[in-house]
Structure 1
């Protein structure tokens, strides 16, 4: 009779697989045969893929800044450089040309991060269609 595995074992398998562990490593850790683990790979494929996505997101959150944070940081640097350019003293370490080049570089980075905002508006489709029909008939002078 085949061994019955617990839900906790299956959840631990999904977690370890999502973290990139090999079937051999998981088998050693959980004491489960490779045959069973292979079957679980197919059975829990969606859960494993989702777990990997969550793992990746956690790493990105830990080590990378978000898009909004990047824009904020570059924008703050840009404001700082603009202020420095206004108060520029030629005796400073960075030449005016170097500072101006840096200013252009920051502007280019901000432009690369630019996204067009989109606004969604919910419309009652029946009401919208009736309005369109009214406008169409009013321009053709047909009575309905």
Structure 2
């Protein structure tokens, strides 16, 4: 039996702080429904992985235009306040790649929804950007 070398990357305090700051900014832009700013925080083409209403796994790639159009439709007109409370578990694969598992509660107009999703982010030129979104229930939009 061959054992692979220990390949786990241990993030630095700066890695964690920069990732936390990225998510704080993304959540702020989401709460404001500032879809263009949200798109500025992505790498396109953006990979999406989900499932559809029939229970089939789906995947797609979106360009910026499709991301903006879909997120604008999904997020509504912005007349109601949205808040997010999230617990995130990052798994750093390297200093430039991280998979983040999120358990989040989105609240608007007194109603709350629990969400579970994962994002893959890459660091380019010192800045994080999301490159893959993974969440159930989006497949019919793909």
Band the TM-score falls in, shorter-chain normalisation: under 0.3
Give the structure with the larger strand fraction. 2
Higher relative contact order structure (alpha carbons within 8 Å, sequence separation ≥ 6):
2
Structure of higher CA gyration radius: 1
Higher helix share: 1
TM-score, structure 2 normalization:
0.21
